[in-house]
Structure 1
Amino acid sequence: MTRKRSVSDDERKLFESAYQQATPLAPSLLTRKQPESKSRFTSGGLNGRTAERLKRGEIAPQARLDLHGMTETAAHTTLTAFIRSAWTRGLRLVIVVTGKGARESAPDAPFSMDSRRGILRHLAPRWLSEPDIAGLVADVRPAHRSHGGDGALYVYLRKNR
């Protein structure tokens, strides 16, 4: 068995200087992902027991808002005012009915403007996380089937202190 030759100090310095001056042939394959910004207000305002009771539909909402037939701007304004009013009155659980949205048209329909179904259904959770009312909202979850299912949202409000 032969011994490996050790690297001299001169060879080591030569290698380090060559390494410092080298330019890569291709960009690095590893790209760093920027961490997602975390919201100041996280959901989690529910304890496990309350969350389970909500999931089963055992807790009755204290107020109800129906956004059916409203435009985006009208629905946004109404939702914001409703949440503020409910929080001021000390309510904890409200239900927001958005509807499931109109049935999708045929894929070859000539005038289909938007392929998404249920604009308000998709926008309501985003509106509830906006800074002006996010501090009032503890959690947002889909409603139980008996309270509207996928077409409605439970909004659990923080305590008014």
Structure 2
Amino acid sequence: MDFGDILNQWGDMQKNEKKAAKEKSKTPQISHKMANAPTPEEKAARKRAKLIAEGRTYEAQMEEDAKKTINPMELWLRRYGVTDKDKAADEYAERAKMESREYLRTMRPEARIDLHGLTRDEAWSRLTSFVNDCIRRGLKKILIIHGKGNHSHGSDPVLGPMVKTFIEQNKNLGSSGHPDRSMGGSGATWVIIK
């Protein structure tokens, strides 16, 4: 008998098992559960009544039950449960990645707000509500578009310094910087939420 014959026999066995499984699935399933099965409390009460009828005490039955042994592995599983180590490792890696400063600096902003055309007070209140909403949603990086001040009345831009002051005063905001030109350059500021 060579390896090819062994493979053919194995293939035939697999086909037979599939046929048997199909035939078994065609037969209707019958439930063997009683219609009004007793609850665990009712079973315990019946057991106590049976012991009393036999003349044995409940304490004697408890001693007898205490002598029974349990599989140590089953006992350990009952006590400590099962944890998915792969899932825990993935969650840890994701947390570590989110905490990495370099990753946060290079990631794209998850939300943005445009403050063009607003006064200093309007921009401050909108920025406050925007940041609070982002914190509530669990975002890590936001983009604030404030413009370069080309249309400001007077010589100095209004919103850029206001945004800088806002970031410095808000305890929930961390490091910040300006994105590249495609995302606004010096007319926008990205901020990492702590």
- The TM-score by the shorter chain falls in which range? 0.5 to 0.7
Partner of 2:158 in structure 1?
119
1:151 partnered with 2:190: no
Structure with higher Rg: it is 2
Partner of 1:102 in structure 2?
150
Partner of 2:173 in structure 1?
137
Hey, what's the Cα distance between the residues in 1 that align with 2:160 and 2:100?
22
User: 2:182 is paired with a residue of what secondary structure?
Assistant: helix
Q: Which aligned runs of 4 or more in structure 1 are off by greater than 2 angstroms?
A: 45-51
User: 2:155 is paired with a residue of what secondary structure?
Assistant: coil
**Once the two structures are superposed, what CA deviation does each residue of 1:105-150 show, in whole Å capped at 9, x if it has no partner?**
xxxxxxxx6321x2101210101222xxx22112111122221111
Partner of 1:63 in structure 2?
111
Hey, what's the Cα distance between the residues in 2 that align with 1:74 and 1:46?
34
Hey, what's the Cα distance between the residues in 2 that align with 1:49 and 1:91?
14
Identity of matched residues, %: 28
Structure 1 residues 46 and 120: CA distance shift in structure 2, 3 A: farther
User: Structure 2: which 5+ runs fail to align?
Assistant: 1-98
**Once the two structures are superposed, what CA deviation does each residue of 1:42-83 show, in whole Å capped at 9, x if it has no partner?**
xxx8624543x2xxxxx2211110000001100010011111
User: Structure 1: which 5+ runs fail to align?
Assistant: 1-44, 54-58, 105-112
Structure 1 residue 103: Cα displacement: 5.4
Q: What is the TM-score normalised by the length of structure 1?
A: 0.54
Hey, what's the Cα distance between the residues in 2 that align with 1:94 and 1:72?
20
Partner of 1:84 in structure 2?
132
Q: What is the TM-score normalised by the length of structure 2?
A: 0.45
Hey, what's the Cα distance between the residues in 1 that align with 2:104 and 2:127?
24
Check conservation: 1:46, 1:139, Cα contact below 8 A. no
Counterpart of 2:101 (choices 35, 47, 59) is 47
Check conservation: 1:136, 1:157, Cα contact below 8 A. yes
- Superposition CA RMSD, Å: 2.0
Hey, what's the Cα distance between the residues in 2 that align with 1:62 and 1:120?
21
- Alignment coverage as a number of residue pairs: 96
